[in-house]
Amino acid sequence: MMPVGPLMIEHRLIERMIKQLKEKSQRFQKEKAADILFIDKAVDFIRRYADRCHHGKEEGILFRDLVKKQLQPEHKKIMDELVREHTYARNATKRLIAAKEKYVQQDKTVLFDIIKLMAGLAEFYPKHIEKEDKHFFLPCMNYFSKQEQAAMLNEFWEFDRKLVHEKYRTLVEEIEKEN
């Protein structure tokens, strides 16, 4: 399997969550109320899976190795765009968390912000994924030898293996700080 196989598989799960994000934002608008539990679950998914796991492999492994190659200008341009887009998604997620916190404190004026941020993420991710799937991942594999691709794939698996331990170590540390 090419190293981008796992990344593309991850895209399919992200697309499923983004579909839920879009549907919920429409429901929030119709019902004039937000589902805090859903927002918490969506934020956890975006932060842990889409960003930490998926973007983490892209930026920390694939892009790291690509910058060592003599990229064609179009691939360099797309990689730079992808990094900026990852930053956009992180910032939008932070703003969604902040709006949700205000909503929890009974500031119902932020409902529109919540809806707008969720709809914005739902609009952003399909375009971002399409760019990676159709215009970047596969052409960029040509920069790597079969041995480099195999090493990258192994590094992806190792990254995933460590991720679950990181999540729960962080959880315990957060609980310890509360006591």
For the chain, how many structural domains are there in total? 1
* CA 121 to mean position of chain CA atoms: 10
What's the pLDDT band for 178 if we cut at 50, 70, 90?
Answer: confident
Per 3-state DSSP, the chain is made up of helix, strand and coil in percentages (nearest 5) of 90, 0, 10
What's the pLDDT band for 77 if we cut at 50, 70, 90?
Answer: very high
Residue 1 has pLDDT above 80, yes or no: no
Residue 166 has pLDDT above 90, yes or no: no
Alpha-carbon gap, residue 10 to 8, rounded angstroms: 5
pTM for the model stands at 0.91
Instruction: Name the residue type at position 140.
Output: C
Residue 124 has pLDDT above 80, yes or no: yes
Please tell me the predicted confidence (pLDDT) of residue 19: 96
Rounded to the nearest integer, the mean pLDDT of the chain is: 95
Closest residue by Cα to residue 97 from 121, 61, 81:
121
Q: Kindly state the average pLDDT of the residues 56-75.
A: 97
Residue 57 has pLDDT above 90, yes or no: yes
Closest residue by Cα to residue 94 from 30, 46, 149, 140:
46
Residue 171 has pLDDT above 80, yes or no: no
Q: CA 22, 96, 162 angle in degrees (round to 5)?
A: 90
Show the domain range for 169: 4-178
**CATH for 63:** 1.20.120.520
Q: Kindly state the average pLDDT of the residues 41-61.
A: 95
Q: Kindly state the average pLDDT of the residues 16-44.
A: 96
